[in-house]
Structure 1
Amino acid sequence: MSQIISHSYPGFNDIAIESAISAIRTGDFSGRQTMKLAESKLASFMGGAYSKLTNTGFAALQAALVAANVNCNDNVLIPTVTCPSVYHAVRSLGVTPIVVDVEKETPLISLEQAIRKKSTSGKNVVIIPQMFGLTQNVKPFFESDFLVIEDIAQRFSPTISQHVDLTVMSFSPTKLFTMGYGGGIVTRQEDYYARLSVFLDPDHSDHSYEREVPFRIHSPVSDYQCAMLISQLERYQEILSYRNKLVEKYDQELGYPARLQPEVPFRYQLILEHHSAKKISESLRESGIGAWALGSHLLHQLFEIEGDFENAEWWSNRVLSLPLHEKLTLDNICYISDVVRRYR
């Protein structure tokens, strides 16, 4: 095995490290002032919306659901192609999510399937993960009377639709940027922000009199986490520019293959003609290259959910995900491409 290349790598550089070190040297880990600054920077980055930070993306989704007053009488729909943590976050509030198929054209949640599974009682909530850096039009879901929670953990960008109620994100080590771990919620609606401010109060004391919101989420972030995030928001275009450069190199080396066309370059993902992604990914990992097939992330298989998931099944073993992160060099891309060509 001549090289070992990971599938993902935390998105940070020396600037982020120095920012974190500077925050640590203050000896104040409470995150009060730096958190306020980071939330302000994130809100500005997202176009002037309100924002709150959490210690994980999981907690961010929990908080969004609580802010939206989701309870066991409501209908929460999620696609089968998404991270299992989305399923577990919904379940943590005592709600069993309704898992639906994805589109035939893209591995994103199907509007048709979602409408078919709407309920006539309670709220109809849809969580729309913008998977793999792709962008799904959320307006049709909004116009179909869904409360829309958008998950941009894999397509972190400053564009938020006016048809989204709440937007959640993750800054875990596998994402575009990292705070070590971390998450965020963004909304344009002041009432949601007010509720978030109550139950995400890190001391659970400033708003202890708010009896109408008994639910609390303890998910504080530290000064050094927030300092890292601020430094990376300032480098956003630089980071994306380098990733796009790697995408161009992949295209050239692999002959402009059929692949997913994301708005944000989260991974480089080939669309294979045959059901061979799992086999090829295993062979690539044996060669020291982190690669994965989409099929290992289907919720209906993981949780043994019956139903029609024809489109997801089609996508499951045709998407081959290759490394794409800041630690990769152009030479790495040449090596990876050379190995991939042996199996195509």
Structure 2
Amino acid sequence: MTEFSGRKGGPIQVTRPSLPPLEEVMPYLEEIWRTRQLTNSGPLHEQLEAALRDYLGVRHISLFANGTLALVAALRALKVSGEVITTPYSFVATANALLWNDVTPIFVDIDPVTLNLDPVQVEAAITSKTSAILPVHVYGHSADVSGLKDIADRYRLHLIFDAAHCFGVEDEGGSILRHGDMSILSFHATKIFNTFEGGAVVTSDADTKQRVDCIKNFGFANETKLVAAGINAKMNEFQAAIGLAQLPHIGAAKDARARIDALYRERLSAVVGVRCHERSKARAHNYSYFPIFVDSDYDLTRDELYLCLREHGIYSRRYFYPLIPEFSIYQSLVDSSDRGWPNAIQASERVLCLPLYPDLSEQDVIRISEIIKQYQRG
């Protein structure tokens, strides 16, 4: 038995949801059955908000049914309008949330190393219609928070971070979630911390937290006062129960992910034509993903390697492919001849995320690495 507790046969998925021991969930379920409060900021919801606030080291957090609704509500709470500058290199929910708020996404290129928004490109895209910047901390690696804040401050723009990948990530000053007007988390089943589905808005401002809480509850400030055209985006008590049971295990999950990350780097370090994505200089990582670059001096293209691994029962993912503006519904929003995102295009064509989850076995990491190694040129 290795220090990685492995799966027993079957295909290897790119991720596998972490679940707390069932016996640790049962007391929370018994509490739900006792109180009969299933939603509407019940006792478990309030416990989880307090527990996450303390764990993450943030001032205010508002729980949501999922991360996309959290982002939609955050944009609405800040009354974002017109155009918002964002990245083409993300999951489509980032830009979909803008369309749901009748806001036009303006896609600019990314840094070729970090794969995060390039502040130089952001500043060059600002117009009189720009109201906000929406960066993504890709793969849990921090965007240039100081550079983006400087731009946002000088042009009086809102700064909202899509931090779906960043649960537990810290820089030298503390939680990466403290930056900007708001940061948005996802607690989807694929994330390091999950509540099956779920999400949150993090902010340092109490009034902003109050507005967000109203918006996620149909717009009600109290039983008789409606202050906004809100939505129903509340996290229910069952989701909160799963989160409370998950939280004590996050440290062990991060440690397991760190060991897997290190083993991949060791086994792939000498493979010609394959590069591991550089870690950021964060004080605390969460090892959410393991992306590699498949370069032109490798014997297979990225897509050929993707298919090759599938033939071996290994399901990697091309995060993020296609780029958001390459989807048909977004092509009408951008000049089809523009494609002014050469770094994002290259990443989209070369990045492959390998399987990574706490109970992925050492033997499987080695097997995946050996399959990749055998196709190196020469």
Deviation at 1:85, TM superposition (A): 1.0
The 3-state SS of whatever aligns with 1:129 is: coil
**1:155 to 2:166 alignment:** yes
Deviation at 1:198, TM superposition (A): 1.6
Q: After the TM superposition, which residues 131-280 of structure 1 pair with which residues of structure 2 at under 5 Å, given as runs? A: 131-145=138-152, 146-157=157-168, 159-160=175-176, 162-201=178-217, 204=220, 206=222, 208-210=224-226, 213-255=227-269, 258-262=275-279, 263-274=285-296, 276-280=301-305
Contact 1:19 1:224 survives alignment (8 Å): no
Aligned residues: 338
1:98 matched residue in structure 2? 106
Paired residue for 1:36, among 39, 43, 46? Answer: 46
2:5 matched residue in structure 1? none
Paired residue for 2:306, among 281, 286, 289? Answer: 281
**Alpha-carbon distance in structure 1 between the residues aligned to 2:178 and 2:196:** 30
Counterparts in 2 of 1:205 and 1:125: CA distance versus 1, 3 Å: closer
**Alpha-carbon distance in structure 2 between the residues aligned to 1:169 and 1:283:** 33
Structure 2 residues without counterparts, runs of 5 or longer: 1-8, 170-174, 280-284
How far does the alpha carbon of each residue in 1:121-167 deviate from its partner, in whole angstroms, 9 at most, with x for none? 4x531111111121112121111123111111112125136541101
Counterparts in 2 of 1:181 and 1:256: CA distance versus 1, 3 Å: farther
2:137 matched residue in structure 1? 130
2:3 matched residue in structure 1? none
**Alpha-carbon distance in structure 2 between the residues aligned to 1:6 and 1:279:** 18
The 3-state SS of whatever aligns with 2:276 is: coil
**Alpha-carbon distance in structure 2 between the residues aligned to 1:65 and 1:207:** 24
How far does the alpha carbon of each residue in 1:18-70 deviate from its partner, in whole angstroms, 9 at most, with x for none? 46644554454225111111111122223241111111111000111011111
Deviation at 1:203, TM superposition (A): 9.1
**1:112 to 2:112 alignment:** no
**Alpha-carbon distance in structure 1 between the residues aligned to 2:307 and 2:320:** 13
Contact 1:149 1:164 survives alignment (8 Å): yes
Contact 1:19 1:228 survives alignment (8 Å): no
1:85 matched residue in structure 2? 93
Counterpart amino acid of residue 215 in structure 1: A
Contact 1:56 1:183 survives alignment (8 Å): yes
Deviation at 1:178, TM superposition (A): 1.3
Contact 1:83 1:297 survives alignment (8 Å): no
Paired residue for 2:21, among 14, 38, 44? Answer: 14
Deviation at 1:174, TM superposition (A): 1.4
Identity of aligned residues (%): 22
How far does the alpha carbon of each residue in 1:236-280 deviate from its partner, in whole angstroms, 9 at most, with x for none? 221110100111222233236621134331121112222821221
The 3-state SS of whatever aligns with 1:109 is: coil
**Alpha-carbon distance in structure 2 between the residues aligned to 1:250 and 1:259:** 9
What RMSD over aligned residues (CA atoms) do the two structures have, in Å? 2.3
Contact 1:23 1:223 survives alignment (8 Å): no
**1:290 to 2:301 alignment:** no
Counterpart amino acid of residue 148 in structure 1: L
- The TM-score, its normalising length taken from structure 1, stands at 0.90
Structure 1 residues without counterparts, runs of 5 or longer: none
The 3-state SS of whatever aligns with 1:317 is: helix
Deviation at 1:295, TM superposition (A): 5.3
Paired residue for 2:349, among 298, 317, 320? Answer: 317
Contact 1:138 1:161 survives alignment (8 Å): no
